[in-house]
Structure 1
């Protein structure tokens, strides 16, 4: 246990700003997602209207127009439908240590928040440690299966399946047979997006040219919140001849959209339907987004807590469960929707197996 806990907790509060503003409610509850094999059951005491929910954001926090905002939408939906007693939202900072993440989670647990949700794989080690210290508190983590314990729920997604669909869309819409992928940080999770995107594009056009670039390398996670570098990466691809660029880069995606607009090209968003959430002057360049329904997963977890039915272990939101998909806002892919839905059904049926890493 760290010494002088409460002094360090105060520092953590200063490092992570509390964000309490309201955002638009997200998607509906998806009851078809099932615990993955090996997930053990650990029923919680029902929280209902008395629940105090703590949520620890990844870098960028509420307002990133992507991953964190999807989580925030799930929390907002729970506020409206489950009558939560209190919520507390804390944000991660660029370049912070695992100790800072530990103290953020510990601050919430010490404050009586139960359940607590950590948004992003970067909380893996800190959450596992803090969950062991607070065995009566229920925790959930998005995008990580390594932090396990009797009071930890792992909310997972088949990002590669959704990315296959937008990769196919990119190839179908590209006039130059040249597309690109911008990843925020070179980690296995983002490699799933890249692998699926490449597989989808090549399923349509086996000889298509695909550029790929990551903004930062671990332990630097700033690539998820650096629009300027996102713009530079995408601009290089457009200058080299690409006409569609997909990003899986969190808050850096805004820069990818700026580059697409300047190049008169097209972009593909991620996590949220970014043709609705991006800056208004950039929405028209977003032909589709790979929608990852973090809002559904967050709401499902909070509802299961309210119902006294929390399960520990992995719950996977894949294409079959409706956990990932592609968006159609703006009508730019209406002409290829039938083809994309054919690929979608082939993935769901098992006729197509989408790789989650590049060979």
Structure 2
């Protein structure tokens, strides 16, 4: 009889504990769901390829695209401009991918280009090109006419191996450069090439090696927002420094982006294993459109899926407001990049040309395919 009572007691205790554990699990699951909803408070949109705007087979003026490295839409028109690194020139196409005109050729004279590495467009449609070899900014009209040029004393970004050669043109006509070799995060020029001011001093580091690394970590994509503040998205740090209109530092904001944390973890593993320096490329491009920042983030995957000599690559575009709050996440389809540079570092192979732009207010994205010499349009899945 005592045995039966003891068994019933044990059974009741076990049942009670199971009920308690079940209640705890339900409470934990609900709490976690609420936390997850708090974390992911922005919409996620999946994009796919909509069209090949300019194919590698499209021949115009007895030539075609040859390593297109950047693209920008031209305000006030239905056209976009392509910076072609291989042909060393600019091409303008209609929004349907029809050739309109070409400007620039290799050289050092006015209207020529030499190692053109980056470009941007102002509100009037004028095109500004940064020439790494000539150390200058050349300016063209949207009609294809050469306007002017001016020299700059230092390279933009870190230099030839930079992941970003950032500069932008503010609504008031200021040309906002990131020239850390000059000692500042921001160098502000006028259209005629006059240096207006510099601010955001890059901390001085004494030794040569640490000095190089310090400059590298100070490179990024600079902007002046209509709110008057200056922003620089530091491509090696995963953060944004903000200065007011007087050039006074306000704060540094670490972006709450999961891929940045994943990249940091991957980079740390690679550095420990392969002793790689200068590999922390978080942002491949940042643009400002309708007062919002569009930030392209890539995932490092050097040991990922491989077919032949190609690796898979993940790209996301985050849309941020002036407070750097995420308003939307765009997940791009898988990209492939070629492992055709065995003689260079993994860090150099990571410096891909993913210079995208928005084609219109529908947030259609066009990206130059550097390796296959074509321009692709992407849009939200229907």
TM range (shorter): under 0.3
Query: Structure 2 length normalisation: TM-score?
Result: 0.26
Q: Bigger radius of gyration, 1 or 2?
A: 2
More strand by share: 2
Larger relative contact order (Cα-Cα within 8 Å, sequence gap ≥ 6): 1
